[in-house]
Amino acid sequence: MRDIIITVMVFGMLPFILRYPWYGVLAWSWLSYMNPHRLAWGFAYNMPFAQIVAIVLLISLVISREKKSLPANPLVVVWVIFLIWLMICTVFAVYPELAVEQLIKVLKIQLITFVTLMLMRDFQRVNQLIWVIVFSIGFYSVKGGIFTFMTGGGYHVFGPSGSDIQENNALAVAILMIVPLMLYLNRFPPRPWVKKIMPFCIFFSLASVIGSQSRGAVLAILAVGGYYWWKSSSKLMTATVFVFLTMLALMFMPQSWHDRVDSISEYQEDSSSMERIRAWQYSIAIASDRVTGGGFSSWSLQNYYQYGIEADKAFVAHSIYFSVLNDGGWPGLILFLIILFLMWRQLSAVIKLTKDDPDRAQYNFLAKMLQISLVAFLAGGAFLSLSYFDLAWHFMAITITLNHLAKSPHEHIDVPNQKPRVARRGVRAPPRGQNVQLSGES
pLDDT digits (tens, 9 = 90+) for 249-264: 777 776 766 666 655 5
User: Quick check: 247 pLDDT over 60?
Assistant: yes
Computed over every residue of the chain, the mean pLDDT equals 85
pTM metric for this prediction: 0.85
| pLDDT-above-90 percentage for the chain | 55
Rank 125-139, 159-173, 395-409, 420-434 by mean pLDDT and report only the highest: 125-139
Please, which pLDDT band fits residue 128 given cuts at 50, 70 and 90? very high
Q: What is the mean pLDDT of residues 376-404?
A: 92
| Range from 118-127, 308-317, 370-379 carrying the lowest mean pLDDT | 308-317
Q: What is the pLDDT of residue 410?
A: 55
Is 436's pLDDT higher than 70?
no
pLDDT digits (tens, 9 = 90+) for 20-74: 999 999 999 999 999 898 888 788 888 889 999 999 999 999 998 888 888 889 9
Nearby residues of 72 by Cβ (< 8 Å), 6 or more positions away: none
Predicted confidence (pLDDT) per residue in 166-208, tens digit: 888 889 899 999 999 999 999 999 888 999 999 999 999 988 8
CB distance 116 to 57 below 8 Å: no
The answer on pLDDT for 439 being more than 50 is no
Q: What is the mean pLDDT of residues 114-140?
A: 94
Confidence of residue 323 (pLDDT cuts 50, 70, 90): very high
Q: What average pLDDT does this structure show over 122-145?
A: 94
Q: 157-166, 251-260, 387-396: which has the minimum mean pLDDT?
A: 251-260
